[in-house]
Amino acid sequence: MHEPALLREVMVNAVGVIAENSVHSHLYALDAQLYYKFSVVVPVTKAFVEQADVSFHVNALTDLAPADTDRADVPE
């Protein structure tokens, strides 16, 4: 698929499905909820951020949901 933040094609493997109606509070409007419907979750590593387009650095901050976890912590 085309990754707009990196401006190139990337290969992805589906490893799970997000639970129905998963949400988190909006960073700037805590009374608003951001739903993950039709979302694709990708790991954002240091290398990903360094290779990303400048628009990612500006626009993605409100869409990120940081989690201190790795694949071993995610249930199948």
Long-range Cβ contacts of 5-11 (<8 Å, 24+ apart): 5/48, 5/52, 5/53, 5/55, 5/56, 5/60, 6/48, 6/51, 6/52, 6/53, 6/56, 7/53
Query: What was the pLDDT predicted at 33?
Result: 83
Provide the whole-model pTM. Answer: 0.48
Model confidence over 20-72: pLDDT tens digits? 888 877 777 778 887 878 777 777 778 877 888 777 777 776 666 666 667 67
The answer on pLDDT for 74 being more than 70 is no
Q: CB-based contacts of 38: which residues, under 8 Å, 6+ apart?
A: none
Query: What was the pLDDT predicted at 61?
Result: 63
Query: What was the pLDDT predicted at 31?
Result: 81
The answer on pLDDT for 17 being more than 70 is yes
